Structure 1
Amino acid sequence: MDSSILKPASELAGTNKAHFPNESVDYRRARQDLLTKEIELRRQIERVAELRRALPPGGEVKKNYVFEGENGKVNFADLFDGKQTLAVYSYMFGPQRQTPCPMCTSFMSTWEHKLPDIEQRIGFVFIARSPIARLIEAKKARGWTRHKVFSDISGDYTRDYVSAEDADVPGYSVFTQRDGTIRHFWSGEMSGTMADPQQDPRGAPDFDPLWTILDTTPEGRGTDWYPKLAY
């Protein structure tokens, strides 16, 4: 995106014709200022996405990771399912857990009906450290039919791309397969230690529409509420 050809965000915001019943002059003035910031945010999202796409080639995946899927064992290359790009979400459901992580479960639930769209362009799988039977049972309990779940049997993949200590933490990574070579492209690297003061740790971009929706409300995300497996 060539910033030299972009109109100032305030100029674009000035074309806004929206007005709502009984709003005050102060509200409209503040809303116009906020609209300018929202346009700037949209541009920043675009700039960061461009920088991400322009990353140099990542490290080659040389290990032959093996996973247990719903139909038996598969190699890492099989997860691409014929696509050139693969996204892997590692969710918190290790053997020590009685139930899956509520936050991961809420997050994954939002994708149930978007996976057919996503899979038009990339492969997308979900990996956890519990035995596959537990993953299948939890998947059925949530009513998921489209999630491709796999057990990281040995933990090799998890230790290499999620947590060197094999900790029960989430992870999101993207890989490419070009000319027979699989490479790591990008992973979320914002840890809890990188959170700003009084901020609930999170990464960017934020993939979960739950939080994006709450960000548009006066209550916001809050500091003492998280999704549950049941209400």
Structure 2
Amino acid sequence: MTDVAEFTQILKPAATLAQSPRRFPGESTQFRQARNALLAEEIELRRHIERVAALRRALPPGGEPPKDYSFESEQGTVTLSQMFGEHDTLVTYNWMYGPKRERPCPMCTSMLSSLNGEMPDILQRVAFAVIARSPIDRLVAFKKERGWHNLRLYSSGNNSFNQDYAGEDPDTGDDATFNVFTRSGGIVRHFWGDEMGPRTADPGQDPRGAPDLMPLWTVLDMTPGGRGTDWYPKLSYDTLPKDRGVRT
């Protein structure tokens, strides 16, 4: 799907598509009825995600950055425009690991660990930069500790990028934010920025964006217990559950 107009086409009703021929061992008629009803909602959710993505792609041109920000990378000083490399699209993620934090945010770390594995595929299509205000040596030290081999880290400690594009106040802390920039004809523009957070959160829910980009929550959302209300990921665990199917 590449255009909003494509969604004006007539689609089969989700309830029609949801009459699944699948049957799981031992399932009841009641289960199948409820499962097909849920499947219809899942189909509608997929369609809504596509509609939102099409609307996002159809946004008018965003503003030009006020400056070509200078960052410190593992290879030395680079500018925002240089982060694009050979691509015309740059995705940035503001990592909550500012200089006032003793350790980085566990939630950010969990997501970045998953993105580290996906990064070889992501970099086929777009450039991707992980940005934090701590000095680059500190960022790299944690990268090695965590075993991240594919993430490109940049320190914004000497510029106002985090304030301008993540709404951060250096005196009060840092914030996790995605932003997307485009480059055409040598001109860099802001395309889209994550604006969901505590202000837009629904009662009893995490102030997450949509769609949720954390695989951790996507997996847990498919389980009876869901995400839970009293649990968050940690940077490390004393013990890990044993795999009972593996014998040594």
TM-score, length-normalised on structure 1? 0.97
Q: Which residue number in structure 1 is paired with residue 240 of structure 2?
A: none
Q: Which residue number in structure 1 is paired with residue 101 of structure 2?
A: 97
Q: Which residue number in structure 2 is paired with residue 170 of structure 1?
A: 176
Q: Which residue number in structure 2 is paired with residue 228 of structure 1?
A: 234
- Aligned partner of 2:10: which letter? I
- Aligned partner of 1:171: which letter? T
Q: Does 1:5 align with 2:5?
A: no
CA distance in 1, matches of 2:233, 2:66: 38
Tell me, yes or no, if the aligned pair for 1:66 and 1:153 is still in contact at 8 Å.
no
Q: Which residue number in structure 2 is paired with residue 189 of structure 1?
A: 195
CA distance in 1, matches of 2:41, 2:190: 34
Q: Does 1:129 align with 2:133?
A: yes
CA distance in 2, matches of 1:126, 1:62: 20
Percent pairwise identity:
53
Specify every segment of 5 or more residues in structure 1 that has no aligned partner in the other structure, as ranges.
Answer: none
Q: Does 1:214 align with 2:225?
A: no
Tell me, yes or no, if the aligned pair for 1:127 and 1:149 is still in contact at 8 Å.
yes
CA distance in 1, matches of 2:187, 2:159: 22
Q: Does 1:64 align with 2:48?
A: no
Deviations 1:79-117 (A, max 9, x none): 111100000011000001111111100010001121111
Report the aligned-residue RMSD.
Answer: 1.0
CA distance in 2, matches of 1:62, 1:230: 39
Tell me, yes or no, if the aligned pair for 1:200 and 1:223 is still in contact at 8 Å.
no
CA distance in 2, matches of 1:193, 1:223: 19
- Aligned partner of 1:217: which letter? T
Q: Secondary structure at the match of 1:161?
A: helix
Q: Which runs of 4+ in 1 moved over 6 A?
A: none
CA distance in 2, matches of 1:202, 1:2: 26
CA distance in 2, matches of 1:23, 1:77: 56
Q: CA deviation at 1:3?
A: 3.8
Deviations 1:177-212 (A, max 9, x none): 001100000011012121111112111111111000
TM-score, length-normalised on structure 2? 0.90
- Aligned partner of 2:234: which letter? K
Specify every segment of 5 or more residues in structure 2 that has no aligned partner in the other structure, as ranges.
Answer: 1-5, 238-248
Deviations 1:10-46 (A, max 9, x none): 11112x2110111111110000000000000000000
